[in-house]
Amino acid sequence: MDRGKKPASIGVGASIPQPTIAINENTVDAKLPTGESVSVHLFGATVVSWKLADGEEQLFVSSKAILNGSKAIRGGIPVVFPVFGPPPPNHATSSLPQHGFARSSTWEFLGKSSSESLGKKADTTIKLDFGLSSSMISEDFRRAWPYEFGLVYSVTLSPDRLETSLQVQNKGSQPFDFHVLLHNYFKVPDVSKISVTNLQNKTYTDKTEKGQQKQETSNAIAITGSTDRVYLDIDPTVPVSVVENGKPLFSITREGLNTVTVWNPWVENAKNMIDFGDEDYKGMVCVEPGAVKNWQVLEGGDAWEGTQTIKPRL
Ligand SMILES: O=P(O)(O)OC[C@H]1O[C@@H](O)[C@H](O)[C@@H](O)[C@@H]1O
């Protein structure tokens, strides 16, 4: 793996087109020779843009998103760790903010690697690695969650997919509890025309109805109002898809991530968020693979990994 270093724009290789990478003050941007690109903000290691070869953006970022580091970025793919949702009382995470601190801490770019190109073929994949450890988070976060940890988040772009993978390391001697969730904000042409598939017969927690447990009856979940559901015990190898007119816009498979949260704030909640445009809810849906049903327990010295692979319409 190369270390990320200046000059800002590094083109690897001379004659064969290679991925390019630009290391900017706040973002790391990579582009494949085939035209696909990704941009990762160091604040939260939030993927804030993923474009296909034709330039079409796949991720939603709110028109009112705050990008100055004072608030988690409203859109893209925020990383949720070590707690999903409001922390429960009397737990090691109780003093943390909703969704933890990973999305509101500044990560370090660790470097890039790309698939070996032998012969005439150009590298078709680029992997960007980001790191966050106990010593890098704010005093307040450290006080609220005083564990020794290391996170490595890898964002791998290929022409036909985006893969993001979070490794959690316990660098101390005490075990700790955590949740992980990858909070994908997908850009959709019209939320009233899409559905989310492959969750039929699954049990979910309906956060819009005080956490009631329900059974999903539909295999094409339409978003017709405020939606906030955590689907439990989902087979990670079965793709959960966002579908429009019978065609998948996105299909997500997972490893180690057995819950899927589906969220759209709809009209009223959108108005109550300072960083979410009033009409923005019409052009997005969050489908969030996670490990949030129970606490994951990580013993001192151990590591855990969760991965999602997102295939776009192609
Ligand atoms: O406003 P936040 O903290 O980014 O959270 C957004 C939403 O994130 C979702 O994952 C949660 O299920 C919702 O309950 C929550 O409202």
Give the integer Cα–Cα distance in Å for 252 and 250.
7
Which residue, among 273, 304, 58, has the nearest Cα to 161 in the 3D structure? 58
ipTM over 0.85 threshold: yes
Can 216 be counted among the known catalytic residues? no
Task: Supply 157's token pair.
Answer: 């772009």
- What does each of the 314 residues of the chain score in pLDDT, given as a tens digit? 444 444 455 555 456 788 999 999 999 999 999 999 999 999 999 999 999 999 999 999 999 999 999 999 999 999 999 999 999 999 999 999 999 999 999 999 999 998 754 444 667 899 999 999 999 999 999 999 999 999 999 999 999 999 999 999 999 999 999 999 999 999 999 999 999 999 999 999 999 999 999 999 999 999 999 999 999 999 999 999 999 999 999 999 999 999 999 999 999 999 999 999 999 999 999 999 999 999 999 999 999 999 999 999 96
Domain boundaries, the chain: 9-301
**Ligand 1, closest atom to CA 84?**
10
3-state DSSP assignment of residue 6: coil
Give the integer Cα–Cα distance in Å for 270 and 292.
24
For position 116, what pLDDT does the model report?
58
Task: Supply 225's token pair.
Answer: 């109002």
CATH class of 9-301: mainly beta
Name the pTM for this structure: 0.94
- Shortest-distance Cα residue to atom 13 of ligand 1: 228
Can 163 be counted among the known catalytic residues? no
**Ligand 1, closest atom to CA 269?**
16
3-state DSSP assignment of residue 85: coil
3-state DSSP assignment of residue 281: helix
Best mutation site among 228, 262, 285 for ligand 1 pocket (most ligand atoms within 8 Å of CB): 228
Best mutation site among 83, 183, 184 for ligand 1 pocket (most ligand atoms within 8 Å of CB): 183
Task: Supply 132's token pair.
Answer: 């966050």
> Which amino acid does the sequence have at 107?
W
**Ligand 1, closest atom to CA 288?**
10
Residue 3 assigned to a binding site: no
Residue 98 assigned to a binding site: yes
Residue 153 CA to ligand 1 center (angstroms) comes to 21
Residue 74 assigned to a binding site: yes
Residue 30 CA to ligand 1 center (angstroms) comes to 28
Give the integer Cα–Cα distance in Å for 82 and 77.
16
Given the residues 41, 99, 179, 183, select the one marked as catalytic. 183
For position 17, what pLDDT does the model report?
85
9 φ/ψ angles, rounded to the nearest 5 degrees: -115, 120
Best mutation site among 61, 96, 98 for ligand 1 pocket (most ligand atoms within 8 Å of CB): 98
